[in-house]
Structure 1
Amino acid sequence: MGKLMNIGFGNVVNTSKVIAIINPDSAPIKRMIQNAKDAGMAIDATQGRRTKAVIVMENNELVLSALQPETLTGRFAGKVVNKDEEDE
């Protein structure tokens, strides 16, 4: 098992299974999210907040996060992040 990365609100993902961290603002990504939700392949880890990043996993599941893609990318790279950034 790979390293675990905090994606906000105590939720974590296995970094060895991450394919991409993407911004959800474009129409194709919004369609991809809706298709994943319809197929039961979306994991919503936003705690009711706005989705700011989509994590694509190697099993084609999407994990929705309320943290900025830049924050998640920093965590993925191992950069130390302030706890305050989690409340963005």
Structure 2
Amino acid sequence: MSEIKLVNIGFGNIVSANRIVAIVSPESAPIKRIITEARDKGVLIDATYGRRTRAVVITDSDHVILSAVQPETVAHRLTSKETAAADEAEEIDTK
């Protein structure tokens, strides 16, 4: 069974890293359109706690998650988790 990886998207909100397709900035018109369509379809999750949206996380289930954390920060958290898991696997293999 595969290991479930989680990534913090701010304010204690956690998303399954395996389900993330993209982490993008909300500034462009196409992303704003995606947000509007997701809101209309009922698949928008607002995890900003009333703060400004800085990152939009798109999942493989077509859910759109709004985060108040910068996209670079979310991506760094995602890659650092994967790197840490790979390092742990290497340590186990070398023992």
The normalised TM-score by structure 2 is 0.80
The residue correspondences of 1:1-80 to structure 2 (distance < 5 A) are 2-78=4-80
Aligned residues: 79
SS of residue paired to 1:48: coil
Unpaired stretches in structure 2, ≥5 consecutive residues: 82-95
Unpaired stretches in structure 1, ≥5 consecutive residues: 80-88
Runs of 4+ in 1 over 6 A off after TM superposition: none
Give the helix-richer structure, 1 or 2. Answer: 2
The normalised TM-score by structure 1 is 0.86
SS of residue paired to 1:78: helix
If you compute each CA radius of gyration, which structure gives the higher value, 1 or 2? Answer: 2
Identity %: 52
Amino acid at match of 2:66: L
SS of residue paired to 2:74: helix
Amino acid at match of 1:66: A
